[in-house]
Structure 1
Amino acid sequence: MPFVRKFTVLALTPVLFAGPISAAHAFQARPQVDARPIAADEGAAALWQSLKRLQTRASLMMIVAHPDDEDGATLAYHSRGVGARVALLTLDRGEGGANVMSSDYWDALGLVRTEELLQAGRYYGLDAQYFTSMTDYGFSKSLDEALGQWGHDKVLEQAVRVVRTVRPLVVCSVFVGGPTDGHGQHATAGLMAQEVFKAAGDPTKFPEQIKEGLLPWSPVKTYARAPFFRVSEKGMYDYANHTWGPVGVTNHITGKWEEGRPSVTVSIPAGSFDPVIGETYSQVSREGLGYQRSQNGGQSVPLPGSQMSDYHRFGSVLNSPAKEETFFDGIDVSLAGIADLAGSKPPAFLKPGLEEIASQIEQAMKSFSAQKPATVASPLAKGKLKVESLIAETEKSGLSAEAKYNVLHELRVKQRQFNDALVAALQLKLNADVIPAGQEDGMMAAMRGAASTFQMATPGLAFPVKVHLYQPTVPSLTVKSVKLVGTSGKDWSVSGPTSPATLTAEKAADPTFKVKVPDNEPYTQPYFTRAGLQNAAYDVASSAPRNTPLTPYPLQAVAQVEYEGATVGLASVVQVVSKVNGPGTLRYPMPVGPALSVAMSPSAGVVPLGSKLINVSVRVHSNVKGVASPSVSLSLPEGWTAEPRSILVKFSQEGEEQTVAFTVTPKVAEGKEYIVTAVAELDGKSYSEGYVTIGYTGLRPYFLYSQAKYATTGTDVKMAPDVSVAYVEGSGDDVPAALEQIGVHVSYLSAQDLANADLQKYSAIVLGVRAYAVRPDLIANNARLLQYVEKGGTVIVQYNTPEFDHNFGPYPYVMSNDPEEVTDEKSVVKILDPKNPVFNWPNKITEKDFDGWIEERGSKFLQSWDPKYTALLETHDAGQPEQKGGLVYARYGKGVYVYNAYAFYRQLPLGVPGAFRLFANMLSLPKNPEIK
């Protein structure tokens, strides 16, 4: 008979429990989030690596600043080669970085880079990933600046919390905690790796964590990758500040200056070849790094070969020698070593029990067969049962609270690792897909593959989910349960068949469940938010998960089978299905979101003084499964009116999106800020927020929510009439949309346009950010651009990376491979040539126009240039030489060529008034009466 149940469950998180370990924390399989494991984690390779992890208690945690800072080869070597339990703590999510894949910036970019790092971490073989609540506020040139923004103790508290959660034997970083790290946030990561070495084990440090049940933990050693110093008779080169200084580093554990180039304590053979995986660990890691495409554009996997990663030891509780073979020299990483955590007199049952477990693991390793993986299942089952027996005995023992905590932590790690090894040995597979209602079963459906489904569940929605449980190795397995569980603690209604009694080899169990989303189910969105980009840290609700990458996805399939008395658990996130030409069938975790997503376009900007009418657009996305007819209206500032007052939108099916336009009569004063809010009404409910799906095709999507608001400022900004502007898109930016607010409608130039179109019909051509890095057609047709300028056109080159350093302008210049940037958005800006046309028409530009800028002044300043260029502005950070190469201007033939490193691509979409005024002047140059 079918059954119906309603239940509430605690969130299943992909990390070890951070609180006290007790019997209440029953074993739970960690959910598989991606529909398919990577090749290195399937078949015989998965099993062999599981066995290697079982035989050691080696553990390592790396601390870095941003996604893509990590030494992935070292992580992969230790996880996949040594079998160590490996975790990664990343201090921020890279919100302030560049993006070569899309126009996602700021917090949206932080989510992109989080998802990219999660994908990369699968290749590194990470046991868990963590983040602090810090944000990447932009390039930081010194450790003191980063700590001033973030707060030393705020970062240390979270680093200590993660160390006390992971409880690693070794902590390391890619950075040493000094100026040669090249970035203040990098240096902070290096500093934290050294400071947690002592702080995490000190019960007087952050005692509130201990009150919560998270006990102290002292790592045995701490390392940093040996830095690449540039040394000469001048001393050591400081890459962050571009100065020379004494050779050496500060040891933050001892507080002492260590003279000379840091020694190499240990060299990690990260280029070792793994015959089971069929690649070197460096190759595997570089496949993962290639998923961080927003920063590097895609994979660049090296050919196999020797590669060493050199590390310097900053601290050890052991009397460690100057040279070591491994991070774990001198540490007992055997299973029997777990007994040492119980103190000088461990319980009589503990060490013999651990030796028995080690014997079962040894037997499994000797029995390993790639062709017959199930031959190792029997000793693995015995080992798992013995671990669980030891857990029960330890919980009842008279050990001190801290000793019991430490022993149970390690035993529960082994319990999970035995479970993973049994899943691999039995080749168990668990998947769960949303399916269309009424989808047929059988051969035809199997041949066609999974059908596309909705992409966003909504509160109250009912739909079917098909669970697929399979094993090919043993005649039959007892099935204890197959079910669906929610992760938010809300009541999900689930009905379906009873679990099958057995799972026969090569005959899948495919139960279909009927599911209803709770009416009060929270949306799938970040658990961290910030009120404004000026905040250097996110706000995290007290009830939210601590330091995890993201909130768990809302629905999971969970199964338990029994093999020789041992219970084996599996969990898999429920997936939605889509079909895209090229990539094919895509499965992504099912999210929950609103019936209507509402967003304003633009979301920030300016209203020119004297504007009689402005156009405001509202984008509405429907997740309603079927017909929907919401009405959309605007909530306006006092004295503003809109025509029409409301607009009825008609959707015929889920997934449709429409943009409606309002003509607004504003009433603005210079410098005053105004808020316009969009509201959609449907079935008696109001919707005034929306989400954007971050990322790009092939990256697991996530969702950034914001209020449907347009924040604007009354601004004295004028634009020359009849200026036609063309735009060459680079790596992605929102400048064209922002320019609409001052009456500029751009035409986008394709590769064919650059090669063949009549460019002279445009008054000005603007090159998008990093265009020379991502548009080979631009490089190929650069001569046509210069001809366009020579005949009277205006070219404005926005921020570009060193790919631009090939004299693409009309006269020579040098950018260098390490171009300067000015990170202080409040740095003083001097106008060097006040009479230049750029500053005088149609807007009179003064230094006040550089007030209110956000995150940075600019990046990739020119180093030197031909005298035919005129430097227009100068600015610099504290301690930095004057930077005059951020805005240079040249007449060439009848036209004008401008290189601009100032961050207009950040300022314009955020509505910075002075940025609009100056950019309007540059676009107006073709009509400027001073230019003849």
Structure 2
Amino acid sequence: MRFYPRKLHRTVVGVSIAGLLACAGFVLLGAQQTAPLSAVDELAQVPSPDPSAVALPLPEDRGAADLEQTLKRLRTTASMLVIVAHPDDEDGALMTYLSRGLGARVTLLTLTRGEGGQNAMSAESYDALGLIRTNELLKADEYYGATQELWGTEVDFGFSKTQEEAFAKWGHERVLYDAVLAVRKERPQIIMSSFVGGVTDGHGQHQVSGEIAQEAFKVAGDPKVFPDQLKDGLQPWQPLAVYSRAPFAPVTNRQMFDYATGKWASAKFHNYVTGEWLEGAPKADVTIPVGTWDPVLGRTYTQIARQGWGEQKSQYGGANPALSEPDDANYHLWAVAPSAAATNNSAGDASLFQNRQVNIDTNIAGLARLGGSAPPTWLRDGLRNIQKDLDAFESDCTNETGVAGAHQLAPIYAHTLDLYTRVKASNLDDESKAGLELELGAKIGQFQEALKDLLGLELIAFTTGSGGGQGYGGGRSSSAGESARSVWPSEEFGVRAHLAQGMDAARLSRVWLETSDGEPWKIEDAGGAIDEKTAAAPVVDRTFHVRVPDDAQPTEPFFTRPNTEQPYYDISNPAWRERSFAPYPLAAWAEFTFDGVPIRLGKGVQTLAHVTGVGGVYEPLEVTPAIGVRVEPEARILPLDGSPLSVTVTVHAQHAAEGSVDLKLPEGWRSDPAQREFALKNAGDTEPLMFSVSPAGDVKARAYSIEAVAQSGGKSYASGWRNVAYPGLRTTNQYELAELKTRKVDVRVAPGLHVGYIMGTGDTVPDAIGALSFQPHMISDSELVSGDLSQWNVIVIGIRAYSSMPGLATAQPRLNAYLEQGGTLIVQYQGGTFPAPLPITLDRMPERVVDEQSQVKLLDPANPLLNWPNKITPSDFDGWLEERGHGFPDHWDEGYTALTETADPGQDPQKGGLLLLHSGKGTYIYVAFALYRQFPELVPGAYRLLANMLSAGKESAGAASQ
């Protein structure tokens, strides 16, 4: 269909719903009841989708553009589940083409939240990074037009080179369980993966996602597989085809490239459905023109997808915009269900649904197959009528805009509601009902979306300080007022629901607030009953007075783990498994009626804050505790000189509060003082409380825990939260116990050091330096360019700093001069080749060693850097977490001394993990070992190696003094 925005008509045709149905050739279908239900009652039987947490849709999802896409979706039942390992693995161009171009229902299952990735935007890592990447992918999904985002319970434990390692960490059954659950929930016609399940996928976790996609296709329809999933009404489901993207790594008829290891292997691929091995490269069975230009959206699907993929800034800092040009996506078919196998099909190879091997019926009338081998006549006829009248609606272009179009679409919607009601009340078996209710429910939602676009209906709801205004709308500059992002138990606040309709044709029936957990919040509608004037008004504001229950639970991630070593999440509420986040606590709903059919809109209640450089930002309302408690630092080794450990407990409150804080200490430890009191006068205030903790005399070389507990108003508070985000990204609160982990470490460091630090993409290395008794100075851009660098004995450059700070390379001559004059310059791993005193070269995809237990060999055990002030031995590399390191150089000038060697199984020896250069009077060190991942876990060897590097400039004096 070619759609171009036309003049919107405001004509209101006074026709009864029964008359419209008769004109359309419909016969009202009863639901085997003595009296037919009203359309409003019928809609009440349809499960409501989650209210949108997005306050302002993308331009592509508004008005005429959204209408065009929704009409595509109405006329097809095409559906797809895409399975990948990490955020940014998805083929966004294909998803966008399918969703926005063809109208398919596209769901993305991402096994992990990308916790083990890098972070180019902030200092968060591990689970906090997972929260960032979750929100980044949700933003990307908006561009892709994804219908749903689902998540596995697996945790990204860092780069892995083999399927075997990934399955050993996660467990094969856990991953398959997550995939089968997603298939049964979404009931897709097709399963897709970006990966084939072999070494050309590179990353071992990629390989797992490719394998699991095929295995889920094979077993999801078997009720004997994971029968516990079926106890609450979920039904088995057999998808009709499974594809994967053709390998993107080089493949010949004999060999294929494994980019994880950088080696070539025999070219063979496993079909996990049939068990067969395919020799040579899997052929491209279909070629999808994802570079097609959309005349309504004004861009190609690849261009739209690239903008979405670029929202995942933590990995790349953003993406360059794509040019408008042809672009294809090649996919290989692994298996097709017998019922969808093509016979004598003359279709080409540009469709996943109809091609030479696959024939999937995506027409609404084809849903009759879900009614069993002999579907009832009323079902076949009802579906055919919906299909016929949608075809007629589309062919009559004058019906596609404004009120006139809404009058033509409303009776088809009413018929769909009626058919849904009859299916629900019928004697069809449970599996048939599950499929039909899901598909018809999706159509009902799409009808409402189309009518919303045709009639210009809009809803947004936001908090107000004391109730806000009531009336018919503001003026030209009207906007929501700024408000706090969260509320706390017992707080009273206002919510303003703002409704508008552009065509003045619908009638507002009701507006209400609803809690996500069904718990009774005290909600009072300040506006009273909706009279005829209000119902017909073009703009309506309704105000609600709300009180949060005393026992309201905080809005927090439902997926947690006790430590970073556990490679999967524990789920606090099984009903939320596979969701992005727990539902936001409060939503606003509005129901309009038009020609007798209901149109329901739902939005999560928002807050508004002004962010400098970004402007006004809506965030979903959250519940937080009244008081939060955090301990700083969260991990630190005990002072080297035996002095007391300094502990800062920060209390932050959402309102004025008084109370006290105590520390829970290991047996025999003492705190001075034993208790501190706090008095916070205003909402948002914080107060740091200082404690001095003295360990017991017989401290062992093991981990200890110190916990802080605040008492206020008869309640105890033992955790705090921090806002995890960066400017422009939705914020999520991460909750943590107010706990300090500490341990005794046998480590010495040269005295009298002054350390400067140049932060890269963010890390906790400065905290580790501080634990060694030297608080580093964070060197500013101006100091780097023109300051006196000689004031620091040591300058440490943070991870990936050269790629994230363009000015750093420009300042390299000053750093080289600093080095020549006697300074020590320590450079942590970088993501690509960077300037150095003598050349160090990193490959385009730098080597990494991912096995944290890989043996580390000392190549020059007598070197002073490995002997003073701490004797470094291979045992210092025991107990490391996640990986050995990144950015191992391929080549370096012979002036450097390589001090270590390590490798993953099958990998060439990596000798560039610790490079030493004496230049002029100074010392230059490049370290690829991932120290920054070890410090938060208090790994002793990492601290000892850091101490030696910091002390390198004084090693001769130290050796002489010994």
Q: TM-score range by the shorter chain?
A: over 0.9
Q: Which residue of 1 aligns with 2:927?
A: 900
Are the counterparts in 2 of residues 269 and 309 from structure 1 also a CA contact under 8 Å?
yes
Aligned partner of 2:148 in structure 1 is 128
Q: Secondary structure at the match of 1:868?
A: coil
2:650 corresponds to: 619
Is structure 2 residue 557 aligned with structure 1 residue 535?
A: no
Residue 16 (structure 1) aligns with: none
Q: How does 1:150-229 map to 2 (within 5 A)?
A: 150-229=170-249
Residue equivalent to 1:413: 442
For 1:194 and 1:512, locate their aligned partners in 2 and report how far apart those are by CA, in whole Å. 51
Shifted more, 307-316 versus 673-682: the winner is: 673-682
Query: What per-residue deviation string (whole Å, max 9, x for no partner) do you get for residues 66-104 of structure 1?
Result: 001000010000000000011000000000110000111
Judging changes above 3 Å, is the alpha-carbon distance between structure 1 residues 368 and 461 closer, same or farther for their aligned structure 2 residues?
farther
> Structure 1 residue 145 and structure 2 residue 157: aligned?
no
Task: Using the TM superposition, give the Cα deviation of residue 506 of structure 1 relative to its aligned residue in structure 2, in angstroms.
Answer: 6.4
In structure 2, C-alpha distance between the alignment counterparts of 1:110 and 1:56, rounded to whole Å: 35
Q: Output the TM-score relative to the length of structure 1.
A: 0.94
Greater CA drift, 43-52 or 515-524: 515-524
Query: 1:47: how far off?
Result: 0.7
- Match for residue 18 of structure 1? none
Alpha-carbon separation, structure 1, partners of 2:135 and 2:574 = 23
Match of 1:38 among 55, 58, 66: 58
State which of 585, 605, 609 in structure 2 corresponds to 1:574: 605
Match of 2:689 among 651, 660, 668: 660
Measured at CA, do residues 681 and 448 of structure 1 come closer, stay the same or move farther in structure 2, by a change above 3 Å?
Answer: farther
2:703 equivalent among 648, 651, 673? 673
Indicate the residue corresponding to 2:304 in structure 1.
284
Query: What is the Cα deviation at residue 171 of structure 1?
Result: 0.6
TM-aligned CA distance change 1:506 to 1:837, over 3 Å: farther
Q: Following the alignment from structure 1 to structure 2, what is the Cα–Cα distance between the partners of residues 602 and 305?
A: 51
Q: How does 1:438-453 map to 2 (within 5 A)?
A: 439=468, 447=477, 449-453=479-483
Task: Give me the whole-angstrom Cα distance separating, in 2, the residues matched to 1:143 and 1:370.
Answer: 54
Report Cα offsets for 1:527-584 as digits up to 9, x if no partner: 1111111111111135441211110100000111111111111100001111222212
Structure 1 residues 370 and 683, CA gap change in structure 2 (3 angstroms):
farther
- Give, in whole Å, the separation in 2 of the partners of 1:575 and 1:231: 50
Is the 2:253–2:280 contact (alpha carbons within 8 Å) kept by the matching residues of 1? no
TM-superposed CA distance for 1:672, in Å, is 2.4
Amino acid at match of 2:166: A
CA contact (8 A) 1:488 1:521 kept: no
Q: In structure 2, what is the Cα distance between the partners aligned to 1:672 and 1:56?
A: 62
Query: Which residue is 1:922 aligned to?
Result: 949
Helix, strand or coil at the partner of 1:365:
helix
What residue number does 1:526 align with? Answer: 557
1:346-357 mapped onto 2 (5 Å cutoff)? 346-357=375-386
Please show how residues 340-351 of structure 1 align to structure 2 within 5 Å. 340-351=369-380
Distance 1:323 1:813, change over 3 A: farther
Shift of 1:610: 4.2
Shift of 1:369: 6.6
Q: Answer whether contact 1:480 1:499 (CA < 8 A) is retained.
A: no
Count matched residues. 905
Deviation string, structure 1 residues 408-440 (Cα, Å, up to 9, x no partner): 221112112112212222221111110111656
Deviation readout 1:759-807 (Å, 9 max, x if unpaired)? 11110000011101110110111111111111110111011101xx14x
CA distance in 2, matches of 1:44, 1:444: 25
Whether 1:64 and 2:84 are equivalent positions in the alignment is yes
Q: Considering only aligned residues, what root-mean-square deviation do their CA atoms show, in Å? A: 2.0
Instruction: Select which of 53, 57, 68 maps to 2:73.
Output: 53
Residue 404 (str. 1) matches residue 426 (str. 2): no
* Residue 298 to residue 767, structure 1, CA distance change in 2 (3 Å): same
Q: Is the 8 A contact 1:264 1:323 kept in 2?
A: no
Correspondence list, 1:470-481, <5 A: 470-475=500-505, 477-481=506-510
2:353 aligns with: 328
Which residue, 641, 649, 652 being the options, matches 2:670?
Answer: 641
The residue that corresponds to 2:21 in the other structure is none
Supply the AA of the counterpart residue of 2:797.
L
- Quote the residue 1:559 is aligned against: 590
Q: Shift of residue 24 of structure 1? A: 8.6
Residues 1:778 and 2:808 aligned together: yes
Q: 2:306 aligned with 1:319, yes or no?
A: no
1:472/1:505 contact within 8 Å kept: no
The aligned residue for residue 13 of structure 2 is none
CA distance in 1: counterparts of 2:474 and 2:220, whole angstroms: 58
Shift of 1:374: 3.1
Contact 2:468 2:543 in 1 (8 A): no
In structure 1, C-alpha distance between the alignment counterparts of 2:602 and 2:689, rounded to whole Å: 43
Residues 656 and 367 of structure 1, relative CA distance in 2, 3 Å threshold: farther
What is the alpha-carbon distance in structure 1 between the residues aligned to residue 159 and residue 270 of structure 2? Answer: 22
Q: Flag structure 1 segments of 5+ consecutive residues without an equivalent.
A: 1-21
* Aligned equivalent of 2:255: 235
Q: More displaced, 811-820 or 727-736?
A: 811-820
Classify the secondary structure of the residue corresponding to 1:715.
Answer: coil
- Name which of structure 1's ranges 767-776 and 202-211 shifts more when overlaid on structure 2: 202-211
- Greater CA deviation, 204-213 or 596-605? 204-213
The range that moved more, 515-524 or 633-642, is 633-642
User: Shift of the alpha carbon at 1:702?
Assistant: 0.5
Q: 1:11: which partner in 2? A: none
In 1, are the aligned partners of 2:755 and 2:774 still within 8 Å (CA)?
A: yes
**Residues 910 and 289 (structure 1), Cα distance of their counterparts in 2 relative to 1, 3 Å cut:** same
Q: Output the amino acid matched with 2:689.
A: V
Query: What pairs up with 1:799-810 in 2 under 5 angstroms?
Result: 799-802=829-832, 805-806=833-834, 808-810=835-837
Give the letter for the 1:680 counterpart: A
Worse-superposed segment, 434-443 or 283-292:
434-443
- 1:634-675 superposed Cα distances (whole Å, 9 cap, x missing partner): 222223222233333332322223323222222362412211
Supply the AA of the counterpart residue of 1:241: T
Which of 720, 724, 728 is equivalent to 1:694?
724
CA distance in 1, matches of 2:876, 2:539: 67
Alpha-carbon offset, residue 895 of structure 1: 0.5
1:25: Cα distance to partner?
5.2
Matched residue, 1:28? 48
Contact 2:180 2:219 in 1 (8 A): yes
Change (3 A) 1:729 1:506: farther
Alpha-carbon distance change, 642 to 222 in structure 1, aligned in 2, over 3 angstroms: same
Preserved CA contact (<8 Å) 2:467 2:495:
no
State whether structure 2 residue 618 is matched by structure 1 residue 587: yes
TM-score when scaled to structure 2?
0.91
Aligned to 2:18: none
- TM superposition shift of 1:619: 2.1
Aligned to 1:393: 422
CA contact (8 A) 2:521 2:547 kept: yes
Q: Deviations over 1:126-169 (max 9, x none)?
A: 11010011100111100111111111111111101100111111
What is the CA distance between 1:233 and its match in structure 2?
A: 8.8
Rounded Cα–Cα distance in structure 2 between residues aligned with 1:237 and 1:371: 51
Residues 102-143 of structure 1, C-alpha deviations (whole Å, 9 max, x = no match): 111000001100011111101100110100111001111001
> What's the counterpart of residue 893 of structure 2?
866
Q: Does 1:725 align with 2:745?
A: no
**Contact 1:103–1:731 (Cα < 8 Å) also in 2:** yes
- Is the partner of 1:649 in helix, strand or coil? strand
**Of residues 628, 633, 652 in structure 2, which corresponds to 1:597?**
628
Contact 1:367 1:376 in 2 (8 A): no
Is the 1:482–1:499 contact (alpha carbons within 8 Å) kept by the matching residues of 2?
A: no
Identity of aligned residues (%): 42
**Structure 1 residues 446 and 652: CA distance shift in structure 2, 3 A:** farther
Q: Where in structure 1 do 4 or more consecutive aligned residues deviate above 6 Å?
A: 441-446
* 1:515 correspondence with 2:546: yes
Whether the aligned pair in 2 keeps the contact of 1:120 and 1:292 (CA below 8 Å) is: yes
Cα separation, 2, equivalents of 1:248 and 1:233:
9
Runs of 5+ unmatched residues, structure 2: 1-41
